[in-house]
A and B are shown apart, each in its own frame.
Chain A
Amino acid sequence: MTTIDTVNSKHPILKKRVQQTINYTVIIMGAIVMIMPFVWMILSAFKSADEILKMPIQWLPEVWNFINFKRAMEVQPILRQLFNTSLLAVIKIFGEVFVSAAVAFGFARFKFKGKDFLFMLLLATLMLPYEVTMIPTFILWSFLGLTDSYVPLTLPAYFGAPAFIFFLRMYFETFSKDLEESAMIDGASWFAIFWRIFIPIGKPALITIGLWAFMGTWNDLLGQLIYIQSPSKYTVQLGLESFSSLSGETLWGPLMAASTMALLPIIFLLIMAQKYFMEGIKTSGIKG
């Protein structure tokens, strides 16, 4: 018999401990790898430009100066940008999550003519690189006179987001058929079934989607670059880009400081999302 078999059969508690230790070690090592770049970035926010660019990498700054943060806020109204981006994100998330859920519900639980074709069409829209439709889309929006606003970035969200629809459809399809049957017997309308049953049970997935939607908005430098011109409407990504220039130097210190400030809301959001996510899973109960 091998050691593991021995351990398994003779010492159940030991086996559990060993397994736990292995789990923990692996996870901790993985976590360190994941987190290192961030640690470096945050520490760099306190360094001078030379120290940041130095190699071999210098971890701790010689002097912990806060001047980078001050400088960063002078160069760009970071707080304002954080607010702008959050506003933009919230508006988008709302639309994307709920409308996508509704559309996914339609695809998942109903049959109608042309359904497969339409779904393939949906997938197809995901596959086309944006560069291709970028200019014509811009033309479309400037024809409507809506450039330099948040409209091109938010309005489409209220018509669903294909990636999310795709995902939620798969998710809803795994729900048992009985769910609707019992509600229909009680005479509930389809919308009520959707809103009162599928949405609550699907909370973990919705939170995931919400998180993705938020990330998508937060990181969407390109879209924001194309459609936002006035500095007062600038988002975080645009602000970060302003720290480097074609005719000058990159302000590394303030850039790291600004990036750190931009990172904090995300981490906060992740922690919250994670918590609700796990809660949602616990309460979702029987799904089939």
Chain B
Amino acid sequence: MEKLKEKSIELIIIYKRKQLCLGFFETSRNILENVDINFIKVYYKVINALGGIPMKKIWLIMTTLVLSITLIGCNNQEEEGVYSLATWAAGTELSELQEIVDEVNEEAEGEFEIKINSIPSNYYQQIAVLMGARQAPDMFWLTQEIVPKYAHDLGALADISDNLEDSEKLNLDDYYEGVIESTYYDGSYWGLPWISNPLVVYYNQDLFDQAGVEAPSETDDWDWNEFIDKAEALTGETNHNGDDVYGTVIDGWPNLETFLWSGGGDVIADDYETIVLDSEASINGLDNLHEMITKGITPRYGIVDSLGGNNVWFERQQAAMFMGGVQDDFEEKIERMDEEDKFELGYAPMPTNLDGSKSSFNWTASTVLHKSNEDDPLAYEAMEALTLKIFDWKIAPPVKDSTDKIIDSNPDKEAMIPTIEHTLQFARSGHYIPEWDGTSGINDRLWYDLYLQMLRDEDFDYVSAAEDIADFSRDLIGERE
């Protein structure tokens, strides 16, 4: 027994010297060095108990063989300068991305090459499998809420703070603060955001005219009280089809943070540590939400799906305002409508919060670099080049002074530019921590135990619920090792 263990450790050392697959070694070595001798004894006892003599021999041989394979087994002959990019893009999005990557590769002139690895479904699961097999992609896409988990808990990401500061092509200052914040955690930056999709208020000018309500301006600030007043005035109108009109649609979208921020509160404070879900400001925000629900300015939660989605209400002129992302394609949809159904589209920024601050929830995604590439400047260069090219593709590019790019790639958004520019100044992400996601993560609780209940039941005691979840979250953070 001892001999077996020793022999295996010997093997590990030999192969380590040969610089093969270090990742595996740490793992196997850990196991072998720390395995309790008792376990191995039990293991061999069990083998002895099973079957006849031939089986035992076979099994022992197999085990040894297998352990050895574990130690040798590794296939990472990566070519120099070729980097894999994992993405969830598929279908049309994938072909567009492929075009972009081809351009980047061309311009790199042989210095580096990016290869796309498209994972059309079960994205995070597949990333996990690849990581587990020590075949993690060099770069991959992540949505913002999951960055802290990958950076902190899993230690899978490369810290690119220095690269960002030193870079000439894409510098920290080039990014809007609210956007680069989404890849910030625990003192470092972990990825390059490639899209910024903040919330704005779309509105139906025709319905506003019909109700005699003054429309919000495209860049001047208005606050939530004005929003609610206008929504109230619009609710109850009838549109050209004879349907009832509501002020807006709230069915879980916009996200809860938007309402917490409306009161000046949040889930987690700036320090990424303190839970402020139950602070006075946050409760004010929830009061705000409650007011909107009870005043009936939005269709009831249960019937929103009856038209096929919250946006459909706006498209069918049954909601006068819609809080949607900059990326939403209402312009296109209106183009394709019958003449009598078309309406004039107006844009306004999100209302100012009750404490005077301005915010607009920003959906971002970033490309991150796997930790194994931390000391490889070429890898960062490739990722940077890719990100810069994506700015020409997606709306809205998260860097300052790039509104002309929007016009180039999406000409029908031209009328929206003033609002987009204005909004990008104060667009922001949530503050995410590793405990956000996952089974019984904070996010789940916020939806099932708070937001959903508020939408369904006007008498729901949301203050207690908020306090409960706040305490629960504090416990989670406390359990962190």
Q: In the complex they form, do A and B come into direct contact, defined as C-beta atoms under 8 angstroms apart?
A: yes
Residues of A within 8 A of B (CB): 49-56, 75-76, 113-114, 117, 134-135, 138-140, 142-143, 145, 221-222, 225-226, 229, 231, 238, 241-248, 251
A226 to B55, CA, bound (A): 33
The number of chain B residues with a CB under 8 A from chain A is 38
Question: Would B52 and A246 count as touching, CB distance under 8 A?
Answer: no
The contact sample of 9 A-B pairs, CB cut-off 8 A, is: A135-B129, A142-B75, A143-B75, A225-B126, A226-B126, A229-B118, A241-B121, A242-B90, A242-B94
A143 to B94, CA, bound (A): 29
Question: Would B52 and A113 count as touching, CB distance under 8 A?
Answer: yes
- Interface check B92, CB cutoff 8 A: yes
Question: Would B89 and A247 count as touching, CB distance under 8 A?
Answer: yes
- Interface check B438, CB cutoff 8 A: no
Question: Would A135 and B312 count as touching, CB distance under 8 A?
Answer: no
- Interface check B47, CB cutoff 8 A: no
Question: Would A245 and B52 count as touching, CB distance under 8 A?
Answer: no
Identify the closest chain B residue to A148 (Cβ). B117
Question: Would A241 and B308 count as touching, CB distance under 8 A?
Answer: no
A178 to B132, CA, bound (A): 54
Identify the closest chain A residue to B88 (Cβ). A246
Question: Would A245 and B117 count as touching, CB distance under 8 A?
Answer: no
Identify the closest chain A residue to B312 (Cβ). A50
A106 to chain B, nearest CB (A): 17
- Interface check B46, CB cutoff 8 A: no
List, in ascending order, chain A residues with CB within 8 A of B126's CB: 225-226
Partner of A226, one of B50, B74, B92, B129: B129
Partner of A143, one of B69, B119, B306: B69
Question: Would A139 and B73 count as touching, CB distance under 8 A?
Answer: yes
Partner of B52, one of A114, A139, A140, A229: A114
Question: Would B129 and A138 count as touching, CB distance under 8 A?
Answer: yes
A137 to chain B, nearest CB (A): 9
Residues of B within 8 A of A (CB): 50-52, 54-55, 69, 73-75, 88-94, 117-123, 126, 129, 132-135, 143, 195, 305-309, 312, 365
Question: Would B120 and A241 count as touching, CB distance under 8 A?
Answer: yes
Question: Would A238 and B129 count as touching, CB distance under 8 A?
Answer: no
List, in ascending order, chain B residues with CB within 8 A of A117's CB: 50-51, 55
A200 to chain B, nearest CB (A): 35
Question: Would A135 and B121 count as touching, CB distance under 8 A?
Answer: no
Question: Would A56 and B306 count as touching, CB distance under 8 A?
Answer: yes
List, in ascending order, chain B residues with CB within 8 A of A138's CB: 129, 132-133
Partner of B365, one of A56, A226, A247: A247
Question: Would B51 and A54 count as touching, CB distance under 8 A?
Answer: no
Question: Would A114 and B308 count as touching, CB distance under 8 A?
Answer: no
Partner of A246, one of B74, B91, B123, B305: B123
Question: Would A54 and B88 count as touching, CB distance under 8 A?
Answer: no
List, in ascending order, chain A residues with CB within 8 A of B91's CB: 75-76, 242-243, 245, 251
Question: Would B118 and A114 count as touching, CB distance under 8 A?
Answer: no
Most buried by A among B121, B195, B365: B121
A119 to B135, CA, bound (A): 36
Identify the closest chain B residue to A131 (Cβ). B125
Question: Would B133 and A245 count as touching, CB distance under 8 A?
Answer: no
A245 to B309, CA, bound (A): 17
Question: Would B133 and A135 count as touching, CB distance under 8 A?
Answer: yes
Question: Would A142 and B133 count as touching, CB distance under 8 A?
Answer: yes
A105 to B307, CA, bound (A): 58
List, in ascending order, chain A residues with CB within 8 A of B90's CB: 241-243, 245
Question: Would A246 and B50 count as touching, CB distance under 8 A?
Answer: no
Identify the closest chain B residue to A251 (Cβ). B91
Identify the closest chain A residue to B24 (Cβ). A139
Not counting A53-B309, A231-B118, A245-B89, a sample of 4 additional A-B residue pairs whose C-beta atoms are within 8 angstroms of each other reads A138-B129, A226-B129, A229-B118, A241-B120
From known contacts A50-B308, A55-B306, infer whether A135 and B132 are also in contact, taking CB-CB under 8 Å.
yes
A226 to B75, CA, bound (A): 17
Question: Would B74 and A143 count as touching, CB distance under 8 A?
Answer: yes
List, in ascending order, chain B residues with CB within 8 A of A140's CB: 73
B210 to chain A, nearest CB (A): 24
List, in ascending order, chain A residues with CB within 8 A of B122's CB: 221-222, 225
Identify the closest chain A residue to B123 (Cβ). A246
Question: Would A143 and B308 count as touching, CB distance under 8 A?
Answer: no
A53 to B91, CA, bound (A): 21
Question: Would A225 and B308 count as touching, CB distance under 8 A?
Answer: no
B135 to chain A, nearest CB (A): 6
List, in ascending order, chain A residues with CB within 8 A of B308's CB: 49-55
A130 to B74, CA, bound (A): 22
List, in ascending order, chain A residues with CB within 8 A of B93's CB: 245, 247-248
List, in ascending order, chain A residues with CB within 8 A of B121's CB: 221, 225, 238, 241, 244
Identify the closest chain B residue to A74 (Cβ). B92
List, in ascending order, chain A residues with CB within 8 A of B133's CB: 135, 138-139, 142
Partner of B143, one of A50, A113, A225, A246: A246
A140 to B143, CA, bound (A): 30
List, in ascending order, chain A residues with CB within 8 A of B305's CB: 53, 55
A246 to B51, CA, bound (A): 51
A196 to chain B, nearest CB (A): 32
List, in ascending order, chain A residues with CB within 8 A of B118's CB: 229, 231
A159 to chain B, nearest CB (A): 16
Identify the closest chain B residue to A221 (Cβ). B121
List, in ascending order, chain A residues with CB within 8 A of B92's CB: 75
A76 to B120, CA, bound (A): 12
Question: Would B312 and A238 count as touching, CB distance under 8 A?
Answer: no
Partner of B51, one of A50, A114, A243, A248: A114
List, in ascending order, chain A residues with CB within 8 A of B52's CB: 113-114
A29 to B467, CA, bound (A): 51
Identify the closest chain B residue to A239 (Cβ). B120
